[in-house]
Amino acid sequence: MIFTRSDESTASQTSARVARALETYRSVIACHEHIAHGSGVHSLTAALMLPCYQAEFRNLALAMTPEEERELRYALDSICETAA
């Protein structure tokens, strides 16, 4: 007997990884905004956390399959279009 993953299971795992990367990317954006807007406690915290978020995003992106990368690119393009 051969066991294979169901498409639903694989799709949900892919969506979860992409969602995690998007959440991390939003944190990177928020850090940049806090740093740009002042010298308060939030900007200091953001400056300390930014390298952590960037490293996490990089690790997530490097571990993705081509399909996940494509899904992430489409989602990031959508975010950039909304911001413009």
pLDDT one-digit tens code per residue, 13-58: 668 899 999 999 999 999 999 999 987 888 999 999 999 999 999 9
Tell me the C-alpha distance between 6 and 72, whole Å.
Answer: 22
Q: What is the pTM (predicted TM-score) of this model?
A: 0.77
The structural domains of the chain, with segments of one domain joined by +, span 19-83
Residue 79 — pLDDT band, cuts 50, 70, 90? Answer: confident
Query: CA-to-CA distance for 84 and 78, rounded, in angstroms?
Result: 10
Is 2 strand, coil or helix?
A: coil
